[in-house]
Structure 1
C-alpha cells in the first residue's frame, strides 16, 4: 500500500453523558483508494466520517492528513485537501447551479487565474452531466440533480480526499451506479458511507464495517462481506452465484427476509 493520505489512530467519540459513539478506530486511506464505511443504523458511521474530516473533534485519538495533524490545520488549510458531500447539505435554493459549483473554488482563491478556475468548474459540470442545467437554480433541481450538483462542487474543489455521506440518496438504481462509477474514475482517495450493500463490492477497494461503535472488520470487499459477518451484523443472507453474462465474475445477491402474511 502506498503512503497514507489520511491516517486515523485510536479514534473515539463519547457524549457528555459518557455514551460511546465511536470507540478506538484506527485506519489508513491511500491515494486512489476507495474506502466504504458500512454498518447498521447507529453503528457510528457518520460520527467516524465527521472525525476524519475534522468537523468533529475526537474525544481520544488523532487524524493525520498527509502527515500533518488535522486538528492543527485551519479550516481553510483543510479545504485545500478535503471535500465533503454530506447528507444534510442545504445549498441556497436561489443560487444558479454554476454559481454553486464555483463555491468549490473558494479555497483556491488567488492561487490561480480566474479563467483556470472557470475551466475546473466547467469540467466538474460536464463530469456530473449538469452543464445543460448550469443556469438553473438549485431550488428547481430534482433530488438527484441536487445530489450531482453537490458532487460537482466537491470535484471543483480538487481535493486529495473526497468524503461522501450516503451519496446515492435520491437516486434511482441506474443513477446510483453511474454516480459511484464517476467517483471511482476521479482517481483520488474516497471515503464513502454507504447503506446500499449491493453497491459496496463493485465500488470499494476496501471496506470498513462498523458495529456498535467499533470497527468490526476492515479489508477487501470479499474479505469483509462474508456471509457470516453480513448475517451477524445486518441479519441478511449473502448468496454468490455465477454471473449469467461473464464467466469470470460472480453475482452477489443480498437476500433480505421479508415475510408477508398470506
Structure 2
C-alpha cells in the first residue's frame, strides 16, 4: 500500500480558555486526492486546516506529509512540501503580478532568481490563465483574478500538498466554479475548506464533515452529502436530480421553511 500524502493522528486543538475547538481526530489523504472540509460557521474547519498545514501548533496529535512530521520540519523545508492559499492576502497594489507570483520560488531559490524560475513563473501564470496579466499591477485585478494569482504563487512552490482556506470567498458564482475546476485539474493533493455546498461534490474526491469541533463524517461525496447528514449538520434539505442537458446529477440544497412562510404573499388590495 502506498504511503498517504497526508496523515494526521489524534489531531486536536484546545483554546487558551479551555474550550476544545477541534476534537482529536485521525485521517489519511491519498496522493492527488481532493479533500473538502465542510461544516457550519464555527465548526472548526479553518482551525483544523491550519493545524494540518503546520500554521497552528496542535494541543494533541501530529501531522505527517509524505512521511515527514510537519512539526519537526524547518519552515523552509515545510514551504517546499506545502503551499497555502488563505482567505485574505493584501500585497502592495503597485506590485506586478509576475513579481508577486515569483514569491513562490523563494523556498527553492531564496532572494536570487535563477533562469529556470522565470520559466516556472510563466508556466504557473499560463495554468491559471493570467499570462496576459503578468506585467499588470496587482491593484488592477478583480477578486477572481487575485485568487488565481494567489494560486499561481502557490504552484510556483511546486508543493506536494496544496491547502485552500475558503478560496471562493468574495467570488461570483461563475468565478467560484471556474476556480475549483482549475484546482481540480492540477493533479496536486488538495485540502480545501469550502462553505458553498453545491460546489463540493463536483470538486472533492473525499469529504470531512465537521460539527461543533468534531469530524462527524468522512467519505466520498455520496457517502457524506446524504439527506440525514446534511439535515443534521446544516439544517438543510438536499435534493438530487438529473441535469437537464448534461449526463450528470445535480444536488440542490435548501432550507425547509415553515408552512406559513412558504405561502405566497397576497396583496391587500
Question: Which category of TM-score, normalised to the shorter sequence, fits these structures?
Answer: over 0.9
Q: In structure 1, what is the Cα distance between the partners aligned to 2:39 and 2:113?
A: 43
2:213 counterpart residue number: 213
SS at match of 2:181: helix
SS at match of 1:163: strand
Number of residue pairs matched by the alignment: 260
Deviation at 1:138, TM superposition (A): 1.4
Deviation at 1:242, TM superposition (A): 2.3
Q: Deviations over 1:97-141 (max 9, x none)?
A: 00000000111117x982211111111111111111111211222
2:249 counterpart residue number: 250
1:179 counterpart residue number: 179
Asked whether the 8 Å contact 2:227–2:238 carries over to 1, the reply is yes
Instruction: List runs of 5+ in structure 1 lacking aligned partners.
Output: none
SS at match of 2:152: helix
SS at match of 2:158: coil
Output the TM-score relative to the length of structure 2. Answer: 0.92
Output the TM-score relative to the length of structure 1. Answer: 0.94
Q: In structure 2, what is the Cα distance between the partners aligned to 1:257 and 1:95?
A: 47
Q: Deviations over 1:183-223 (max 9, x none)?
A: 11110100000000000001000000010000010000000
Q: In structure 1, what is the Cα distance between the partners aligned to 2:78 and 2:187?
A: 19
2:16 counterpart residue number: 16
1:236 counterpart residue number: 236
Residues 126-137 of structure 1 mapped to structure 2, 5 A cutoff: 126-137=126-137
Cα RMSD for the two superposed structures: 1.7
1:58 aligns with 2:58: yes
2:102 counterpart residue number: 102
Single out whichever of 84-93 and 31-40 deviates more from structure 2: 84-93
SS at match of 2:5: strand
SS at match of 1:118: helix
Residues 1-262 of structure 1 mapped to structure 2, 5 A cutoff: 2-109=2-109, 114-247=114-247, 249-257=248-256, 259=261, 262=265
Asked whether the 8 Å contact 2:37–2:207 carries over to 1, the reply is yes
Q: In structure 2, what is the Cα distance between the partners aligned to 1:90 and 1:10?
A: 34
Instruction: List runs of 5+ in structure 2 lacking aligned partners.
Output: none
Asked whether the 8 Å contact 1:37–1:209 carries over to 2, the reply is yes
Q: In structure 1, what is the Cα distance between the partners aligned to 2:93 and 2:25?
A: 37
Deviation at 1:173, TM superposition (A): 1.6
SS at match of 1:92: coil
